[in-house]
Chain A
Amino acid sequence: QKEVEQNSGPLSVPEGAIASLNCTYSDRGSQSFFWYRQYSGKSPELIMFIYSNGDKEDGRFTAQLNKASQYVSLLIRDSQPSDSATYLCAVKVSSGSARQLTFGSGTQLTVLP
């Protein structure tokens, strides 16, 4: 079992819809969770992080964390074609060295105009 799993997609949503991206992790001791966006041919950039159970909102983005079920999700409201990218879930696993992140393989999102 991979430590961090994501549906590779591709996920397609129409412009204006809500895109829902999901990530599960195996290390129950994980404490920190991150969502990175990576445009094709570019490096990842951090868009959200969450440490506590529940929802965290930032503009059109909402991160949701459920430690009991070991999943973290990212919702993108009012999706725009510019949101089309690969979204990487990253987890600070307890077994790793300090500040080391374990990344999922990413979900490719396409927002159709």
Chain B
Amino acid sequence: GAGVSQSPSNKVTEKGKDVELRCDPISGHTALYWYRQSLGQGLEFLIYFQGNSAPDKSGLPSDRFSAERTGGSVSTLTIQRTQQEDSAVYLCASRQGGYNEQFFGPGTRLTVL
């Protein structure tokens, strides 16, 4: 079946602009995660959605970052007033309820000039 998809695959923006990154999880997966990976670094947790529960936003680095998940499926990560330090690969992962394995999408490479 289809895996996790993300769009766009690459995004170049100017400092101060807003960007939206999209994630389509695997159908039926109730959990969805956003991570950020800077060059040569591990994965930094950003936010976690589980079903209809309130999301765990504890990893969001500032109030410029927000995310929503509509209808328990597609999620959008929004970064307002982008800064150069926001440049990274943003990875989305989804997980089936009752299981631990997270399946990752291909990521969106964000470059802020």
B45–A100 touching, CB < 8 Å: yes
CB-CB under 8 A from B102, the residues of chain A are 46, 101
Asked if B100 CB lies within 8 Å of chain A CBs, one says yes
Question: With A and B bound together, what is the CA distance between A106 and B37 in angstroms?
Answer: 11
Interface size band for A: 20 to 34
Query: When the two chains form their complex, are residues A45 and B104 in contact, meaning their CB atoms are under 8 A apart?
Result: yes
Within 8 A of A (CB), among B25-67: 31, 33, 35, 40-45, 48, 50, 56, 58
Cα-based distance from A34 to B33 in the complex (angstroms): 16
> Does A49 interact with chain B (Cβ within 8 Å)?
yes
A99 touches B48 (CB 8 A): yes
CB-based contact A97/B104 at 8 Å: no
- 6 CB contacts below 8 A, A to B, read A44-B91, A49-B100, A97-B48, A103-B35, A103-B42, A103-B43
B95 at interface, CB cutoff 8 A = yes
A4 partner residues in chain B, CB cutoff 8 A: 42
Chain A residues within an 8 Å CB radius of B48: 97, 99-100
* A1-45 interface (Cβ within 8 A of B): 4, 6, 8, 32, 34, 42-45
- B85: chain A residues within 8 A (beta carbon): none
Of all A-B residue pairs in the complex, the 9 with the closest CB atoms, nearest first, are: A105-B42, A43-B104, A103-B43, A97-B56, A103-B42, A44-B104, A46-B101, A104-B42, A43-B106
